[in-house]
Structure formats: C-alpha cells, structure tokens
Copies of this chain bind each other. A is one copy, B any other.
C-alpha cells in the first residue's frame, strides 16, 4: 500500500474514532456530521470523502466492533483443549476484559442497534444467537461430564452474556477495582452460576 493510501486509511480511522466518541456520548441520531467534523477541526465534505453517508459510519463501527469483540472469543469457545471449567473461566475473563477495553463500542452496539437497517439488525442478531449457542454448547459439555450442574445450558449461557455485557454500564477504570480484579471475580461468579464443583 502506498503512503498516500496509508494516510487516507488513517484519516478514515480518525473519523471513525471521533464518531464513536460522539455516538457514545450523545447517541447516533443526536450527533450531526458537523459535530464529527468539528471534533476533528474539519468540515462536512471531508467526512463525505471517506464515508458515503452518516449511516455508513455507524455500520462500519458495528462491523469493526463486532470483529474486535467476538472473533477471539469465538476462537476460545471453539478450542476443545482443557476442561470445560478452564475454558469457561478463560472465556468469561476474556469476555469481560474485551467489554471493558471496548467499552464505548459495547455501549454503542447495545444502544444503537435500532439505528441500523433491518438487514444489518438481522445479521447482528444471527451472529449473536450463534455466539450464545456456542457458549451454551460449552456449558452443556461441562454439564454432561459432571463438571457443571445446570438445568438449562441455553439460559445459563444467556445469563452469563447478560451479566458480562452489563459491565460496561457500571465499571469505571477509576474505581476501586482493577480490570484484573473484575475479570477474576466475574469468571468466578460465572463458574458459580453453572454450579461448577469448586476446589
């Protein structure tokens, strides 16, 4: 890739970053293209050279966030090495860490789903369901080999997703807990939740 292309790519990233910050703070609908421009000391046509329209910015943000948040996680879920307990623990720890690291994006994905096209909403929900189903399978595995004691692995999966995804709403890096504290505590709670026999 040429230097010029790199620079173009970089500017595009800057737009995305500024947009994410504003979408997080004020919401997608209340954020104007002028706002995004102002945040970068730039005007509207600048934005429109990198994105076809306002909606395209949001869509790219979702795609990127989904990648950042879920690709590694799915890998952990698919990895068949180790006990179900170890895998669940690792999974939840990573899930929490990612949710905190990408806090802004987690929030946007949660709160701005309705701003997407119905096609995109469908895509996202389908991926989400698939993801939840994989987690359920891991829990089921642990249940069938006696590591976990849980009556409904799917509900347990959704409960864990809920408790993890909620963290972005209350966790503050300035608070009494480090991210490491949080990931440890949350993965312990998840193991409790699935009735894991503890050491």
Please list the residues of chain A having a beta carbon within 8 angstroms of any beta carbon in chain B: 26-27, 29-30, 110-111, 113-115, 132, 150-152, 155-156, 158-167, 169-170, 177, 182, 185-186, 188-189, 192-195
Q: How far is the CA of A194 from the CA of B65 in the complex (A)?
A: 32
Main SS of chain A's interface residues? helix
- Give every chain B residue within 8 A of A177 (Cβ-Cβ): 155
Q: Is the CB of B158 within 8 A of A166?
A: yes
Q: How far is the CA of A152 from the CA of B183 in the complex (A)?
A: 12
> What residue in chain B is nearest A193 (Cβ atoms)?
B193
Q: Is the CB of A161 within 8 A of B166?
A: yes
Q: Is the CB of B189 within 8 A of A155?
A: yes
- Give every chain B residue within 8 A of A29 (Cβ-Cβ): 27, 29-30
Partner of A186, one of B159, B164, B182: B159
Q: How far is the CA of A189 from the CA of B115 in the complex (A)?
A: 33
Q: Is the CB of B27 within 8 A of A189?
A: no
Q: Is the CB of B111 within 8 A of A189?
A: no
Instruction: Please name 7 further chain A to chain B contacts, defined as beta carbons within 8 Å, in addition to the given A30-B115, A152-B185, sorted by A numbering.
Output: A30-B114, A151-B185, A155-B189, A162-B163, A162-B167, A166-B166, A192-B192
The verdict on A189 contacting B156 (CB below 8 Å), with A166-B165, A166-B166, A167-B162 known, is yes
Q: Is the CB of A189 within 8 A of B114?
A: no
Q: How far is the CA of A29 from the CA of B28 in the complex (A)?
A: 10
